Amino acid sequence: MLQQILHDMYIDPELLTELSDVQKHILFYKMREEQLRRWRERETWEALAQDEGLRPPKTKRAAGNKHIQWLLGADGEVWVWIMGEGPGDKPYEEISEELIAERARLQAQKEAEELWRQKEAEITKKFRDALANEKARILAEKWKVEMEDRKAAKVLEERIHEEFKRKEEEERKRGEEQIRLQEEQRAKELFWTLKQAQLHCQASEKEEREWEEQLRRSKAADEERSREAQRARDEYRRHSLRAIQKGTVAGLSSMFQELGQSHEQEARLYHHLPGPGPPAPLALPVRTWERPLRPVSRDVIVRWFKEEQLPRRAGFERNTKFIAPWFHGGNYHCFGRRVASRTLWTEGQPTRLPSVV
């Protein structure tokens, strides 16, 4: 590092601030010696050049390289400062003594550091060996104690194992006895359960036969009610046709009276006779029953029932004010096919319900 500074004749300011005053004096002293050496070398070259007519070779300096510019004095020559001769300078002997003292101090410090490293290594080795011996002693004692504890633990483990084995045998015997008693109790319970199931099965077969008989009777009653309902519908249809025929005859009679039509026209109207002839007796046309149109809404059905069927006491018991059991429209409800079927089976047995589909 010093050789580089003397070669470049330059020191970084940050590095210079880190040096002590003594080190700065030494550095300046070395730099001054290097300046004198270069100056003498230059003087020698100039003297040779004057004697032999030669000029010292010029060294090419690269661009950007650092260089030294000599400080010139008042006389225009290079300014020279001799240590110890300037105003306020220390004598050269004092500076030399300080340099020697600093060098001795640094050398002593270096030797002391070396001695301390050796001493520290000896201390570390000594205590490391002592620590290893102590660890070995502790491990030996611990191993000895562990061996004794292991033997005692093994004896205790064997004793506990024997105790648990004895208790296990006793528990196994009690468990086997308990299982045997439970098996006998379960066998008795299953016997009575199977016995009751057999009796219940026999009773169920009897109830099933009775239920089949009751179902047969119910079906027969349903068929009888169906036949009665069919007869009632036929009777109602006959009454309806009779009423229609009566209404038709009355209407025709009044119409014939108002228009004054002849018997010939009446016969031609009802019998479609194209030619003249003796008048035939008046006869009503034979009309076949046709299914009426389907109601458009429930309101129409309710209004029809109130206006036409209720005055005829449809759905009531004969000569009473009570609704017949077979009639389920007492509240003027209109059921669809699915609702009627679901309502019928909620009674517990098959029932018939007149419904408008």
Residue 351: what pLDDT?
Answer: 46
Model confidence over 189-235: pLDDT tens digits?
Answer: 888 888 888 888 877 788 888 888 888 888 888 888 888 888 888 88
In a domain, 319, yes or no: yes
Sign of torsion, CA 339 344 348 350? negative
Residue 330 confidence (pLDDT)? 45
Indicate whether 112 belongs to any domain: yes
Half-sphere exposure of 99 toward its Cβ, with a 13 Å CA cutoff? 15
pLDDT above 90 covers a percentage of the chain that reads 0
- Please tell me the predicted confidence (pLDDT) of residue 14: 85
- pLDDT averaged over the chain? 74
pLDDT digits (tens, 9 = 90+) for 201-214: 877 788 888 888 88
- In the prediction, which pLDDT does 307 show? 84
For the segment 320-342, the average pLDDT, to the nearest whole number, is: 58
pLDDT, tens only, 143-188: 888 888 888 888 888 888 888 888 888 888 888 888 888 888 888 8
Residue 105's domain spans which residues? Answer: 2-55+69-129
Write down the pLDDT at residue 6: 82
Residue 41 lies in a domain: yes
Asked if residue 241 is part of any domain, the answer here is no
At residue 62, the pLDDT reads 53
Query: Quick one: average pLDDT of 248-262?
Result: 50
Global pTM value? 0.22
Strongest mean pLDDT among 44-53, 180-189, 275-284, 287-296: 180-189
Per-residue confidence (pLDDT) for residue 232, from 0 to 100: 86
Tell which of 87, 109, 129 closes a domain: 129
- The answer to whether 227 touches 235, Cβ cutoff 8 Å, is no
What are the residues whose beta carbons fall under 8 Å from the beta carbon of 67, sequence distance 6 or more? 61
Alpha helical stretches, state H, the chain = 2-8, 13-18, 21-52, 92-259, 263-271, 298-304, 337-345
Specify the pLDDT at position 226: 86
Average pLDDT over residues 241-258: 57
Q: Strand, helix or coil at 316?
A: strand
Among the candidates 81, 97, 129, a domain finishes at 129
Of 129, 150, 176, which residue sits at a domain end?
129
In a domain, 40, yes or no: yes
pLDDT at 283: 46
Residue 328 burial by Cβ neighbours in a 10 Å radius (0-12, 13-18, 19+): buried
- In this structure, how many other beta carbons lie within 10 angstroms of the beta carbon of residue 23? 14
Q: Which residues pair with 323 in a beta bridge?
A: 316
Q: Is the pLDDT of residue 92 over 70?
A: yes
Instruction: Calculate the dihedral angle through the C-alpha atoms of 278, 284, 290, 294, rounding to the nearest 10 degrees.
Output: 120
How many separate domains does the chain show?
Answer: 2
Residue 246: inside a domain? no
Section 274-278 average pLDDT: 46
Assigned domain for 233 exists: no
Asked if the structure places residue 10 within a domain, the reply is: yes
- Categorize the per-residue pLDDT at 288 as very low, low, confident or very high, splitting at 50, 70 and 90: low
pLDDT of residue 279: 47
